A and B are shown apart, each in its own frame.
Chain A
Amino acid sequence: MSPGFQGRPRSAEPALPPGQYLTEDFPVLSAGPTPKVPLETWEFVISTETGAEYRWSWDELMGLPQETPTVDIHCVTRWSKLGTSWLGISLDTLLDGIDTAADYALVHSYGGYTTNLPLDDLRGGRAWVAHTYDGGPLAAEHGGPARMLVPHLYFWKSAKWVRGIRLTIEDEPGFWETAGYHDYGDPWREQRYQGD
């Protein structure tokens, strides 16, 4: 018997947030038609509460330092997918040097989708603008050319087809947050609906 054989007990199912089940495929959820966004005209804009705007073209975004997060994702429709691999730009990089007193962020997308979250949740190596999934360009059905990746919150907070972020003093509920879903959406506290 090799010495390491009994060293690591076989764990049972990996830990999932309450009420979630494990899936191996990557379900496609969408609240509307898939926008087609040519890379030549694509842009990402962060605006602040003073009206200042910071813009990146696709080429400018690609020129920024890239990170390779491997993360678990949890959809409020109860599926979770473990160990997903992405390539993207940290929001720490994008927010670096932006002067703001805002406490909240409203992410907006091509196609009109919005979702809100505290600005602090975009900082600290916990949020990315991701353009590559599992080694290939992010498919349009999964939010390509680029989507938000904020895996510590339910996945509706990780807006597909991301176009920009508006930094705000007041919290402004987004698309699902104005229709019954939780303002914050922590999967480990099972914050699915308002009042959870």
Chain B
Amino acid sequence: MTDMSYLDGNMLDGPLRELFAVDLSAATGRCASCGLAGPMAGLHVFSHAPGLVARCPACSNVMLRLVRAPDRAWLDLRGSTFLEVPMPLDQPHPGPL
């Protein structure tokens, strides 16, 4: 993709911080279309649009869409098969059930 009309995924940090307690720009996401797993910060984000559209840097398919209304937000992750989020080792966790 040579189109330079996008921003890198680091710009998602602020908008997603409204929804999540964790820093998703440090997360890894897997593209549902081509299977590439890579940092969310590496996505190509098209922001001159009615919402944010984050695309896979390899195949350019949509991995994440975020629409923000004054009183609501929509997050669509159907283009991502998982998000891998780094967690601090010293944080209590339930472990496998």
Bound state CA distance, A112 and B73, in angstroms?
Answer: 23
Q: Is A180 an interface residue when CB atoms closer than 8 A count as contact? A: yes
Q: Is A31 an interface residue when CB atoms closer than 8 A count as contact? A: yes
Given A32-B46, A32-B60, A33-B3: A179 touches B76 (CB 8 Å cut-off): yes
Q: Is B69 an interface residue when CB atoms closer than 8 A count as contact? A: yes
**A29 close to B69 (CB less than 8 A):** no
Since A32-B62, A180-B67 are in contact, a sample of 18 more A-B pairs with Cβ atoms closer than 8 Å, ordered by chain A residue number, is: A31-B46, A31-B53, A32-B53, A32-B55, A33-B3, A33-B5, A33-B6, A33-B55, A156-B50, A176-B50, A176-B67, A179-B74, A180-B51, A180-B69, A180-B72, A181-B50, A181-B51, A193-B72
**B1 close to A33 (CB less than 8 A):** yes
Q: Is B93 an interface residue when CB atoms closer than 8 A count as contact? A: no
Could you give 8 example pairs across A and B, Cβ below 8 Å? A30-B48, A31-B53, A33-B55, A33-B60, A34-B5, A77-B50, A112-B61, A176-B50
Identify which of A77, A181, A193 gathers the most chain B CB atoms within 10 Å of its CB.
Answer: A193
Give residues in A with beta carbon < 8 Å to B. Answer: 27-34, 76-77, 112, 156, 176, 178-181, 192-193
**A180 close to B74 (CB less than 8 A):** yes
Residues of B near A176 (CB, < 8 A) are 50-51, 67
Residues of B near A32 (CB, < 8 A) are 46, 53, 55, 60, 62
**B69 close to A192 (CB less than 8 A):** yes
Residues of B near A27 (CB, < 8 A) are 48
Bound state CA distance, A76 and B48, in angstroms?
Answer: 12
**B72 close to A29 (CB less than 8 A):** no
**B49 close to A179 (CB less than 8 A):** no
Residues of B near A156 (CB, < 8 A) are 50
Bound state CA distance, A44 and B49, in angstroms?
Answer: 25
Closest to B69 in A: A193
Residues of B near A178 (CB, < 8 A) are 76
- One digit per residue, 1 when the CB lies within 8 angstroms of any chain A CB and 0 when it does not, for chain B 73-87 equals 110100000000000
**A28 close to B48 (CB less than 8 A):** yes
Bound state CA distance, A37 and B73, in angstroms?
Answer: 34
Bound state CA distance, A112 and B61, in angstroms?
Answer: 9
Given A30-B5, A33-B60, A34-B5: A181 touches B67 (CB 8 Å cut-off): yes
Residues of B near A30 (CB, < 8 A) are 5, 46, 48-49
CB distance from B8 to the nearest CB of A (A): 15
**A34 close to B3 (CB less than 8 A):** yes
Residues of A near B62 (CB, < 8 A) are 31-32, 112
CB distance from A159 to the nearest CB of B (A): 13
CB distance from B52 to the nearest CB of A (A): 9
CB distance from A111 to the nearest CB of B (A): 9
